[in-house]
Amino acid sequence: MTHQPDLPLGRRVMAMIEDLAQHTDEIGRLTRLYLSPAHRAAADTTLSFMREAGLRAHIDALGSVVGRLEGSNPEAPALLIGSHIDSVVDAGRYDGNLGVVLGIVVTEALAAEGITPSCPIEIVAFGDEENVRFPTNLSTSYAFAGRFDPVWLDGKDAEGVSLRDALVAFGGDPLGISALARDPARYRGYLEVHIEQGPQLEARDLPVGIVSAINGITRARAHVIGEAGHAGTVPMTMRRDALAAVAEMIGIVERASSTRTDTVATVGVAQVQPGAINVIPARVDFTLDARSPDDAVRHAMVQDIVTECEAVARRRGVSFAIEPFMESPATPMHKDLTAQLEEAVKGIGVEPLRLASGAGHDAVAMATLCPTAMLFVRCKGGISHNPAESITLEDADMAARVLLDAVKRIVA
Ligand SMILES: [Zn+2]
């Protein structure tokens, strides 16, 4: 008989993930939108996990589940650990849920080892990270940071239900939101474990990695206008083909991002008018999404893209206009807290790779409240927001041991 490693922490994590995955708004696939009946059921399950772990737990005014383990010094600033339990449509089961259950598993492990932390530990399951149902932006974690925008309450979902009405139906309290704001002096830090949602850890054969920063994002809409004409009669030298110009511009976007470190840039939408096989394209509207862990680098990249696209437009006799419509700064992770995670990763014999996060997380909001650090866990094929999302039992166990060790270092 071969030796089966026991991996008790990893097994506990996977069992909780399995329980949470049962709560869905759609039969046959996992969809758990903020304030939906499935979100409520998942919040109740999370609440019972926390209570079984010995935490004092409740569901707050915005539907976040919060559990608190008291420390030997109840006045000491608390350590927060969390992530989110809402999902995209047709989601995987690990995105968000993993970070929540890891927090609970760590408090169970501390109790099992007879350790009382020096400061309180709060585990939180945020509810509105994916920003799918309402036109919000990390509303539940920004509420912790005292930055909930009351305008969000009037935002409506696709059925015309306002966030305010959905919150009341969920059992929340629109009047209780401002009281959710935490006093930064009462918190020493926020730790979030999340699946990587990219292929870098798998490519390097590493179970976990340490987030250096969460990328800042610039989004813009660009418009290129040339002239329509007969695809058979207008000679090539006499054309003002908007799509041919945009083809060069997409090459510029690709080069500007691939020649810099840790930057990515994407043209995700390009609409061609009039869009007929025998007509020279007159107009193309396209989007730009540019990301970097360094704001200065991102701004320089976008500026270079604009300058080079303008040159292409001049040479080809087409017009080029670009309007940025979203600017989100990069969020560097906290130096000391990240160093604690790094020591914990080294402690299990894993090379501590630092990588930037290309996706946003609750940690973006929490970093405005207190020191924040993140750990990524390898996911199969780098796939997320997809039912094929998966992690291994071994990696779940490693992540739990890293988080447990980091927490011991922080709350010792
Ligand atoms: Zn997530």
pLDDT tens digits, residue range 348-385? Answer: 999 999 999 999 999 999 999 999 999 999 999 999 99
**249-264: per-residue pLDDT in tens?**
999 999 999 999 999 9
The residues pairing with 377 across neighbouring beta strands, listed in sequence order, are: 195, 208
92 burial type by CB count under 10 A (0-12 exposed, 13-18 middle, 19+ buried): buried
- Residues with Cβ–ion distance below 5 A, ligand 1: 95-96
Question: CA-to-CA distance for 206 and 351, rounded, in angstroms?
Answer: 8
Q: Classify the C-alpha dihedral 152-96-388-345 as positive or negative.
A: positive
Q: How many whole angstroms from 139 Cα to the centroid of ligand 1?
A: 14
Q: How many whole angstroms from 216 Cα to the centroid of ligand 1?
A: 16
With a cut of 70, say whether residue 147 has pLDDT above it. yes
**36-71: per-residue pLDDT in tens?**
999 999 999 999 999 999 999 999 999 999 999 999
Tokens 């437009």 -> residue = 313
Q: How many whole angstroms from 84 Cα to the centroid of ligand 1?
A: 7
What average pLDDT does the segment 112-126 reach? 97
Q: How many whole angstroms from 96 Cα to the centroid of ligand 1?
A: 4
Q: How many whole angstroms from 361 Cα to the centroid of ligand 1?
A: 6
Q: How many whole angstroms from 65 Cα to the centroid of ligand 1?
A: 16
412 pLDDT band (50/70/90 cuts)? confident
**CA-based Rg of the chain, rounded to a whole angstrom?**
24
Q: How many whole angstroms from 308 Cα to the centroid of ligand 1?
A: 35
List the end-to-end C-alpha distance of the chain, in Å, as a whole number.
40
Question: CA-to-CA distance for 22 and 26, rounded, in angstroms?
Answer: 11
CA 102 to chain centre: 17
What average pLDDT does the segment 275-300 reach? 97
Express as a percent the part of the chain with pLDDT over 70.
Answer: 99
Query: Do the beta carbons of residue 168 and residue 40 sit within 8 Å?
Result: no
Phi and psi torsions of 291, nearest 5°: -135, 145
Question: CA-to-CA distance for 103 and 85, rounded, in angstroms?
Answer: 13
Q: How many whole angstroms from 278 Cα to the centroid of ligand 1?
A: 45
Q: How many whole angstroms from 7 Cα to the centroid of ligand 1?
A: 25
Q: How many whole angstroms from 130 Cα to the centroid of ligand 1?
A: 7
Question: CA-to-CA distance for 291 and 299, rounded, in angstroms?
Answer: 9
2 pLDDT band (50/70/90 cuts)? very low
With a cut of 50, say whether residue 1 has pLDDT above it. no
Q: How many whole angstroms from 262 Cα to the centroid of ligand 1?
A: 20
Q: How many whole angstroms from 253 Cα to the centroid of ligand 1?
A: 27
Q: How many whole angstroms from 388 Cα to the centroid of ligand 1?
A: 15
Q: How many whole angstroms from 6 Cα to the centroid of ligand 1?
A: 28
Spatial CA neighbour of 113 closest among 359, 354, 374, 412: 412
Question: CA-to-CA distance for 201 and 377, rounded, in angstroms?
Answer: 8
